Amino acid sequence: MDSSLWRSALLRLALAATPVLLVALPAPAAAQFSDAFNFLKAIRDNELGKAQELLNKPGNTLVNTRDSGTGETALHIVVKRQDVNGLAFLLQKQANANVRDRENNTPLILAAGARWTEGVRILGLVKAQTNLQNQLGETALHLAVANRDAATAKLLLDAGASPDIADSTGTTARAAATNDPRNAAIARLMKDIPAQKPRPAQGPSL
C-alpha cells in the first residue's frame, strides 16, 4: 500500500477511536474516588441510602472519616444543616459525638452555636461531652450565652456543662451571662451552680 494511503488509513482509525476513548475516560476516574469521599458526598447530598450501602461494607470505619480540607466528619455536616434524620442515622451507626473539625469544633459546639436546640438535645442523649473547647476556647455553653439562648443553655447545664471554663480571652460563660442584662434568664440558671475557679482554655486531647 502507498505510504500516503497507509498514513491516511491510520489517521481514520485514530479519529474513529477517539470518541470511544473520550467516553470511556470518566468511568476509571470515577472509580478512583475512595469510599471515604463517596460516603461524605452521600451525606452532603442527603442520600442516606447510598451512605448505608457504604457503611455496610465489612471492616470499614467510614462513619468517622474526615474531610481532608475541613476536618469535618459526617456528623459535623448533618449538624450544620440541622438534619434530625441524618443526625439520628449517624448516631445509630456509632458516630463519634465528640469528634473535632479543623477548628476544634465538636458537633455539640456547632449545634449550640447555630441555636439548634433539638440537635443539642439529641447529642445529649448520647452523652456528648459538654465541656470540650474549640480553638477559641469556647464551649457549647459559651455559644449559648453569646446567642442569649436560654433553652440551649439549660440543656447544657442539666447535662453537666461547667459555666466556669475560660475561653481564650479569659471569659467564662458565667461571667458573660452575669455581665449582660439581656442574659438574665441564663444567669439565673447558673445561680445555684457552685462557682469554681475558672479553668483555662484547653486544647484538644491527643
Per-residue confidence (pLDDT) for residue 1, from 0 to 100: 52
What length does the chain have? 206
Which amino acid does the sequence have at 87? Answer: L
Rounded to whole angstroms, the Cα distance separating 69 from 47 reads: 21
**What are the tens digits of pLDDT across the range 88-140?**
999 999 999 999 999 999 999 999 999 999 999 999 999 999 999 999 999 99
pTM of the model: 0.81
Which residues 6+ apart lie within 8 Å of 128 measured at CB? 97, 98, 106, 107, 108
Per-residue confidence (pLDDT) for residue 132, from 0 to 100: 98
DSSP character string of 29-41: HHHTS-HHHHHHH
**What are the tens digits of pLDDT across the range 175-206?**
999 999 999 999 999 999 998 876 665 555 43
Count Cβ atoms below 10 Å from residue 150 Cβ, excluding itself. 19
User: Which has the higher per-residue pLDDT, 7 or 141?
Assistant: 141
Long-range interactions of 45-51: CB distance < 8 A, separation 24+: 46/83, 46/86, 48/85, 48/86, 48/89, 51/89
Which amino acid does the sequence have at 40? Answer: L
Count Cβ atoms below 10 Å from residue 202 Cβ, excluding itself. 14
Rounded to whole angstroms, the Cα distance separating 79 from 111 reads: 6
DSSP character string of 126-155: TT--SS---TTS--HHHHHHHTT-HHHHHH
